A and B are shown apart, each in its own frame.
Chain A
Amino acid sequence: MLFLDHIWMIPLLPACGAAMMFFFGRRLQKSAVSAVCVGAVVLAFLFACGAVLQYTTWAAAHDHSPYEKIVYTWLGSDTGHLTYTTQDGSPANFQADAGFLLDPLSSIWLLFVTGVGMLIHIYSIGYMAHEGGYYRFFGYLNLFMFSMLTLILANNYVLMFVGWEGVGLCSYLLIGFYFHRKSASDAANKAFIVNRIGDAGFILGMFFIAWLCGSMRFIDVTHLARSGHFSIGDPFVTAATLLLFVGACGKSAQLPLYVWLPDAMEGPTPVSALIHAATMVTAGVYMVARSNALFVLAPTSMKTVAIVGALTAIFAASIGLVQNDIKRVLAYSTVSQLGYMFLALGVGAFAAGVFHVFTHAFFKALLFLGAGSVIHAMSGEQDMRNMGNLRDRIPVTYWTMLIATFAISGIPPFAGFFSKDEILWQTWTSEGGAYRILWFIGYVTALMTAFYMFRLVYLTFYSKPRMSHEVEHHIHESPASMTMPLIVLAVMSLFAGFLGWPHSLGGSDRFARFLDPVFARGEAHVLKAGGEASQLAAGEKEEEHTSSTEYLLMFLSVAAAGAGWWMAGRAYANADKGFVEPIAASAPPVYDVLLNKYYVDEGYDYVFTGRRKVGDVRLGAMGLGEASSWFDSHVVDGAVNGAGWTTRAVATLSSWWDKWIIDGIGVNGPAILARMLSYPARLLEWGLVQWYALVMTAGLVGFVFYYVYH
């Protein structure tokens, strides 16, 4: 079990690549950088294949339990320093290991992350060949692979969160790769900050789980959840799962935290392909699937997940109908498809959701890489209004993108048909048809998806050429390093769906079978909550039986895809310069709202960031800053100034008191009194001779009178 025992090597290989780029990437030649970084990922992929193969044999011998390898104890210990009490009063030890878990779920993610990552690394050799910062790009890309692999292979929530944060960081670094452009720098900030909001939810959810379960390891949490310890609808479990879902919304761009993904297209196209299509945005889906035991215990959370997923799907699809930048269309398409995945998870169809992640990784990565190839051919032009009639000039790109478009629209037998159809079928039948309205939302979204994807194809590859002459002159097919991954991904988009060939069409659905141990299908534990028996196993929620309704719905899905294709063809197949959008012609206000993305970013600017003032008031974070600044300059400084003023007033008062009262009355008073009272006494010694004579005379007269009249 060589590969299994050394499973920690898989994330370590790209980590070494990143470290080497960090330390001496600058001095290396481009060829050396490619060899190190791309080689690391190729090795990681081969290693991953070996590990998964060995896991299948191991699992067969060990009752399909997950394989866990703990390398060392990272946080916590058994000396009891990090103990706390759980919800039911029992003491627990907080421990997070650097441990790796391999089970069917992480195997699938491991294979497509390393596989698609490898193809994108190879593609980037050609795409970034003429760009500056070559070593920096590959260093960040490798760092991303390391973080994503840590996230996938972690055996506990804390280590997963390390990977979670790492991919967020790499997303920031890579979106802002052309940091000299302000728009790129702003987009990077936006991505990281919006992600962070989700991370807050994730952390709170983790705290809840620690408090509820006494452990952060997935195995422990799943075991406790399935043991009947918690009742269905337990409020704390609901809270924990809702908070985890908030984290997933941030990372996987669901409403209302999706706003960073379209802006993230500022990064180089391989970044959009890897991070924002195939891997990072699926981290939220992975996390929810990993926590399926908890989610199954909280029907409210599941409903929330399903509703948010469906609404996101249709919302993003509607915006994608009118966008003119080729990458923006694909970005909104990603948000929309992620909505499908969460819809699947929310209705309990976990395997279908994971299957859609798997197929989506291939065709979405292919679409983005193809778009990159188109942009490369068009010398940097990204606006579809300036493209047209490229199919004969860049045939490989054209054919591969066409295959991907068939896949995403859900046209059989391409990959997307099987996964999307499975999701829609599960939505229709789940919980006895409670989610039929969500099925309808998903159905309309499928129609829209087909429409905007074929619009992309028609405007780019068909219709009349609308580009300038110099650009037309330079159109050329991309080099082999770019076209080879396209071909490989096209093959996967064609055949990957066969892994999940449904029962209704005679297949064995090997994909879902593979995932059975993860979602505990066939091991239903019955819980008696108030005498009722309920199902706890996630897998049990998926319908096993086929019926004629399924064929009808399948037909409707294909019809929707076909209708979307036909409508796009009618509107855009012959589009020439200055072509009119059908939505703009029929309903201009609707077109404006969609083109401006429902003004959500502006709304956030008013309410949450405070970049725009509402009247005279500034709300949001900047409003808080403004309010604090106002408080500081008026209240705090006012108090300081007031203290100073008071001191001066008291001093003035004091000096007045001292000058007029103390000096005036206290000191001068007795003096004046003494002078006044001494006046008569002074007269005795006046110094005037005649005055003395007068006094003598007066005294004499007085004596005479006294003697005469007495």
Chain B
Amino acid sequence: MLDISILHYLVLGAVLFLLGVIGVLTRRNVVIVLMSIELILNAVNLNLVAFSRYWQGLHGPAAVHGQVFAIFIITDAAAEAAVGLGILIAFFRNKETVNVDEVNLLKW
């Protein structure tokens, strides 16, 4: 049986982060871009929790800094999602589309 070390969690976190970045950069639909941003944030969360567990193993059960930070990020992600959706709705009211390519009023 494979030993699951912190490395696996970090790799998973990285892969999720990468997927999220690729989604932000390449997806056309704004909603999907927001979802990708959420994915990035959650990947970071995963990273933080993994490191928290690792630190708990090294420095005792009181080293829960990572987990605490992860809660902050969740809150932050929620707020950000709310704001993002607000922008999306404002954008949609103007342009009647959710295609990120058409956010180009400042294009030269």
Contacts and interface: CB of A to CB of B under 8 A. Distances in A.
B104 interface: yes
Interface string B1-44: 00000000000000000000100111000000100000000000
Interface in A306-331: none
A697 B25 contact: yes
B107 A694 contact: no
Contacts of B21: 697
Nearest to B107: A687
Nearest to A682: B108
Contacts of B108: 682, 685-687
A693 interface: yes
Contact of A693 (B25, B104, B105, B106): B25
A690 B106 CA distance: 13
Given A687-B107, A697-B21, 19 more contacts: A685-B106, A685-B108, A686-B107, A686-B108, A687-B103, A687-B106, A687-B108, A688-B101, A688-B103, A688-B104, A689-B100, A690-B24, A690-B25, A690-B26, A690-B33, A690-B101, A693-B24, A693-B25, A697-B24
Interface of A: 682, 685-690, 693-694, 697
24 contacts: A682-B108, A685-B106, A685-B108, A686-B107, A686-B108, A687-B104, A687-B105, A687-B106, A687-B107, A687-B108, A688-B103, A688-B104, A688-B107, A689-B100, A689-B103, A690-B24, A690-B26, A690-B33, A690-B101, A693-B24, A693-B25, A694-B25, A697-B24, A697-B25
A684 to B, nearest CB: 10
Contacts of B103: 687-689
A688 B26 CA distance: 12
Interface string B71-85: 000000000000000
B100 A690 contact: yes
Q: Which of A685, A686, A690 is packed against the most chain B CB atoms within 10 Å?
A: A690
Contacts of A693: 24-25
Contacts of A690: 24-26, 33, 100-101
A51 B53 CA distance: 170
Nearest 4 interchain pairs by C-beta = A687-B107, A687-B106, A687-B104, A689-B103
A697 B26 CA distance: 13
Contacts of B106: 685, 687
Interface in B59-108: 100-101, 103-108
Main secondary structure of the interface of A (DSSP, over half): helix
A677 to B, nearest CB: 15
B52 to A, nearest CB: 22
A694 B27 CA distance: 12
Contacts of B26: 690
Contacts of A694: 25
A682 B106 CA distance: 11
Nearest to B24: A693
A693 B30 CA distance: 13
A104 B100 CA distance: 136
Contacts of A689: 100, 103
Nearest to B30: A689
A708 B1 CA distance: 34
A693 B105 CA distance: 17
Contacts of A688: 101, 103-104, 107
A696 to B, nearest CB: 10
A694 B26 CA distance: 9
B34 to A, nearest CB: 12
Nearest to B101: A688
Contacts of B104: 687-688
A682 to B, nearest CB: 6
A686 B106 CA distance: 7
Contacts of A697: 21, 24-25
Contacts of A682: 108
A693 B26 CA distance: 10
Nearest to A700: B21
Contacts of B105: 687
Nearest to A683: B108
B106 to A, nearest CB: 4
A697 B40 CA distance: 12
A343 to B, nearest CB: 114
Contacts of A686: 107-108
A408 to B, nearest CB: 120
A698 to B, nearest CB: 10
Nearest to B21: A697
A693 B28 CA distance: 13
A688 B104 CA distance: 6
B104 to A, nearest CB: 5
B15 to A, nearest CB: 16
A689 B28 CA distance: 10
A694 B103 CA distance: 15
B29 to A, nearest CB: 11
Nearest to B36: A693
Contacts of A687: 103-108
A53 to B, nearest CB: 127
A697 B103 CA distance: 19
A688 B24 CA distance: 13
A689 B24 CA distance: 10
A139 B9 CA distance: 147
A694 B25 CA distance: 6
A690 to B, nearest CB: 5
B108 to A, nearest CB: 6
B82 to A, nearest CB: 19
A687 B25 CA distance: 14
B3 to A, nearest CB: 27
B66 to A, nearest CB: 20
B46 to A, nearest CB: 19
B99 to A, nearest CB: 11
A682 B21 CA distance: 24
A639 B61 CA distance: 111
B44 to A, nearest CB: 13
A688 B103 CA distance: 7
A116 to B, nearest CB: 117
A689 B105 CA distance: 11
B20 to A, nearest CB: 11
A590 B20 CA distance: 131
A697 B104 CA distance: 20
A691 to B, nearest CB: 9
Contacts of A685: 106, 108
A694 B106 CA distance: 17
A703 B101 CA distance: 28
Nearest to B22: A697
A690 B104 CA distance: 11
Contacts of B107: 686-688
A439 B70 CA distance: 158
A693 B100 CA distance: 12
A643 B46 CA distance: 90
B91 to A, nearest CB: 10
A687 B26 CA distance: 15
Contacts of B25: 690, 693-694, 697
